[in-house]
Amino acid sequence: MGSGPVEDLRIRTGTSKDTEAVLAFWRQAARGVGISDDAEGLARLIARDPGALLLAESEGRLVGSVIAGWDGWRCSLYRLAVLPSHRRRGVSRALLSAAEERFLAVGGRRGDAMVLVDNETAQRAWAAAGYHREDHWRRWVKPLA
């Protein structure tokens, strides 16, 4: 792996056949585990919004992911992750470009990303992609059991 752009990068939509590979990839490349980060959660995502899971591949290997969810009102971005060996080589830029194209095609007007407060690497990546933090919002959650 060099330090230049990934030349053979391919972005595609993930399917249910990718579930185990995506979960293994997230354990290796993503930070934080959410309540829906399991096979059942991915199955529901793919069934509900089949175009949401975007995967980046290089040389037949999964090197990046982003969930570009569209609920008919908001464009939500989750799980932007890139293998450490492929970071700073254009993978996240390509994934976000594909996500933004998807959002524009369905009438989306703004992409919202969820980023861990202490994940400085991710914050730099989002800022480099033109996103900015909105400090006047706070996330409120309630696990549903």
Q: Is the pLDDT of residue 31 over 90?
A: no
Whole-number average pLDDT of the chain: 91
Q: What is the percentage of the chain residues whose pLDDT exceeds 70?
A: 98
Give domain limits for the chain. Answer: 10-128
* pLDDT tens for each residue of 6-30: 889 999 999 999 999 999 999 999 8
Q: How confident is the model at residue 142 (pLDDT cuts 50, 70, 90)?
A: confident
C-alpha–C-alpha distance, residues 101 and 129, integer Å:
14
pLDDT of 2 reads: 55
**What pTM was estimated for this model as a whole?**
0.91
pLDDT of 49 reads: 95
Q: Is the pLDDT of residue 145 over 90?
A: no
Answer whether 58's CB lies under 8 Å from 8's CB: yes
Domain 10-128 has CATH 3.30.70.270: no
* pLDDT tens for each residue of 55-93: 999 999 999 999 999 999 999 999 999 999 999 999 999
Candidates 123, 31, 9, 25; CA nearest to 83 is 25
Long-range contacts of 23-29 (CB under 8 A, 24+ apart): 25/62, 25/65, 25/81, 25/83, 26/65, 26/79, 26/81, 28/83, 29/64, 29/65, 29/81, 29/82, 29/83, 29/84
